Structure 1
Amino acid sequence: MSPLLTFVLLPLAWLYAGVAAVRNWLYDTGLLAATGAAVPLINVGNLRVGGTGKTPHVAWVVELLRNLGQQPAILSRGYGRGTKGFRLARPTDTAATIGDEPWQHFHEFGGAVPVAVDEDRRHGLAELAALQLPISAVVLDDAYQHRRVQPTLNILLTEQARPFWHDYVLPAGRLRESRRGARRADVVIVTKCPPQWPETAQHAAAEQVRRYARPDVLVLFSSYIYGRPVPVSGALTYSLPTSGSEVLVLTGIAQPEPLLAYLREAGYRVVRHMSYADHHAFTSAELAEAAAVLQPGQVVLTTQKDAARLREPHLRTAVASLPLFYVPIRVSFLADGAERLHALLMPLLTPQPVA
């Protein structure tokens, strides 16, 4: 957005921020009630609309909990789904019925982690409890502004290239509430950092975080590690692309730039980028367009999140006819960030019996 347009939209942003501030004040003073749960609630959210890396960070927290002997569940809104209300993910579900991010989590953990969706997280927690599943912790995906629920630990994400302290409230910027919303965070993770980001830059970023968050907030830094491409169809019918391969990149996410930068650094030759809006529902016609421009030896690369939507049943034939792969990612913390987050989580968890 241009600086001039940002300036023009600032009065609307102040109005939006004022409404959000009144709502937050009602919860902060107890005039509106927030409820917890019988198990620890670990929220992973942000101040900004889209693109901060919630999905891989939720997966990282879930994997950590499992490694600690916990039995976590994931509760999400299920953005973009065609259903309403509470829904527990089943093998027959798709991105259309539970949302692309919940479906990705369900697929990634092989159904071993309960994944539920509900627009009303408080209702979703009650429904999960009523199922009497062996759950020892719930990871809330993107519930930072869902004040009806009181997390045990609030993890706030902000992207290194677009940090919240340089942004404005909607519609002048991309923030859902003012920068002061960071005061509710117990942990702030600056995401998508260069793996070798200098300590001086980290220190400067932490100082900016603490201008708005609590002085004692834990500030951590994470980056992405990209894996070898994986066929979206599940069957390896085309040769795996390697460094030097010519690729068409197909994305429907908020921030595709980190993937594009990685591919170029890794030696892939990006010949075209077909970019769509976040949570885009792909069509057979769009996949046919990608197939039409592919040259012999070229392949299509997409993200793990997009792969969830590309596995919709009505796209099965189109996907099977394409050399289509997704690039998996996982979170890696800089310095001792993983150990520090581990240490913060441990006192909140109930020891589990040894199997």
Structure 2
Amino acid sequence: MEGDFIKINEWLKPLSWLYGCIIGFRNFLFDVGVLKSRAFDIPVISVGNITVGGTGKTPHVEYLIRLLKDRFNVAVLSRGYKRRTKGYIVADANTIMTDIGDEPFQMKQKFPKVTVAVDAKRVHGIETLMDSDKKIDVILLDDAFQHRYVKPGINILLVDYHRLIIYDKLLPAGRLREPLSGKNRADIVIITKCPDALRPMEFRVVTKAMDLFPYQDLFFTKLAYDDLKHLYNGSTRELNSIGSDEHVLLLTGIASPRQLREDLKPYVKNLTPLRFPDHHEFNDDDVQLINETFANMPSPKIVITTEKDAVRINDTKGLSKEIKDNIYSLPVKIKFLLEQEEVFNEKIISYVRKNSRNSILAKTKDDDKSKDSHNSGNGSRTISF
């Protein structure tokens, strides 16, 4: 099988070369200014990747929301992947998942006071957000690293520890959406989904291999989990409450569930994975497979799924009563390694504080007062920080 895979990759190399030429020419047009990147008079932080598949974008965007929401008015803008609508939509209490997509819907549910909007045209989406709500201090762009029509103030590139971009190839032979040189646009690079037992030597090896410029900051994060939450009645239970005789059906529709499976091993002795493609919409055949798989498992048993899958499962009909009585989502967060959290937080907060519209307006007013005081000849001065 491995030999066949290598042969397939060899056959795909010419297509990867052609794809790389096309993407490289597009990036060149942006670099020389033929295609324009738009900057905005508001802090814009982009979170994304240059690979196909999950690198943990949603948990990292949610980390930024938690970090900023009590200090600033935060808005999140996503394209709303696989939604059934078009154009600009801002979510409210009555918005359904299919209107904005599973990830924006998940974020709106978890952070109801945060503005969540979708628009495939990010420039238009930012303009609309700024015009419709003058109180917004910062906009978080979800999955926009390659959307070069927007020039963010901070560009965050996520790289999966298990699929380092430095060892990958361009589509279709590999998973890279653009040449490796695309990483040079990042202000911050985060190696995500790191294992707990990462040794100091491994940090140094990855740091050297990434070959970043001095202006780029490198961070490492891992996945961390909250208590299991029942999909239908809201009850919770701790991960360590799963008994050694308990069987778990791990139901996922995410791009890369590998680290999740590894993280569950200390808690789950009997794990049956059932994997579907990323953002998968469960049809009748899928539901039948899920029901049959769970029915054939020994008792006691439960189903564990991800938060992103949970918002789609809630809209899925036909699940057995046994599954509905025993299905839990596993909330995920990220944690920084190497005691890097404080450095990262300060970098983000400082950028937003210095560049928010309210800060700029206040500074302008202070400058005007200073000029007026100077012109009046009374010797007084206004100092702003």
On the 8 A contact 1:185/1:217 being kept in 2, the answer is: yes
Q: Tell me what 1:265 maps to.
A: 266
Q: Tell me by how many angstroms 1:146 deviates.
A: 0.3
What CA deviation, in whole Å up to 9, does each residue of 1:105-124 have, x standing for no partner?
Answer: 11111x11111111111111
Deviates most, 17-26 or 145-154:
17-26
For the 8 Å contact 1:233–1:320, the answer to whether it is kept is no
2:87 maps to 85
Q: If each structure's helix is expressed as a fraction of its own residues, which one has the higher value?
A: 2
Counterpart amino acid of residue 32 in structure 1: L
Whichever of the two has the greater Rg, that structure is 2
1:29 aligns with 2:32: yes
| 1:116 partner amino acid | A
Deviates further, 40-49 or 243-252: 243-252
Identity %: 34
The Cα shift of 1:197 comes to 1.1
User: Which residue matches 2:62?
Assistant: 59
What stretches of structure 2 of length at least 5 have no aligned partner? 359-385
**How far apart are 1:95 and its partner, in Å?**
2.5
Contact 1:291 1:322 survives alignment (8 Å):
no
The residue correspondences of 1:151-162 to structure 2 (distance < 5 A) are 151-162=152-163
Matching residue of 1:242: 242
Structure 2 CA distance for partners of 1:254 and 1:237, relative to 1, 3 Å: closer
**RMSD of Structure 2 on Structure 1 (CA):** 2.3
Aligned to 1:311: 314
The equivalent residue for 1:224 is 223
Which of 229-238 and 15-24 deviates more? 229-238
Structure 1 residues 328 and 15 mapped into 2: Cα distance closer, same or farther (>3 Å)? Answer: same
User: Once the 2 structures are TM-superposed, how far is the Cα of residue 83 of structure 1 from its aligned partner?
Assistant: 0.8
Q: Secondary structure at the match of 2:76?
A: strand
Aligned residue number for residue 368 of structure 2: none
Deviation at 1:232, TM superposition (A): 1.4
Distance 2:33 2:93 in 1: 41
SS at match of 2:130: helix
Hey, what does 1:14 align to over in structure 2? 17
Which deviations, in whole Å up to 9, do the C-alpha atoms of 1:150-198 show, x marking residues without a partner?
Answer: 0100000001111111111110111110110000000100001112311
Match of 1:40 among 34, 39, 43: 43
Q: Provide closer, same or farther for how the CA distance between residues 339 and 324 of structure 1 changes in structure 2, counting only shifts above 3 A.
A: same
TM-score in terms of structure 2 length: 0.85
> TM-score, length-normalised on structure 1?
0.91
Equivalences, count = 348
For structure 1, the residue ranges without an aligned partner over 5 or more in a row are none
Q: Which amino acid aligns with 2:310?
A: A
Q: Please name the residue that 1:207 is paired with.
A: 208
Pairing of 1:99-248 with structure 2 (within 5 A): 99-109=101-111, 111-210=112-211, 213-236=212-235, 242-244=242-244, 245-248=246-249
Q: Which amino acid aligns with 1:254?
A: A
Which residue of 2 is the match for residue 291 of structure 1? 291
Counterparts of 1:237 and 1:45, CA distance in 2: 31
The answer as to whether partners of 2:69 and 2:114 remain within 8 angstroms in 1 is: no
Cα distance, 1:46 vs structure 2 = 0.4
**Is the CA contact 1:310–1:319 (under 8 Å) kept in the aligned structure 2?**
no
Query: Is the partner of 2:265 in helix, strand or coil?
Result: helix
Segment drifting more, 240-249 vs 20-29 = 240-249
- Work out whether residues 227 and 238 of structure 2, in 8 Å CA contact, stay in contact via their aligned partners in 1: no
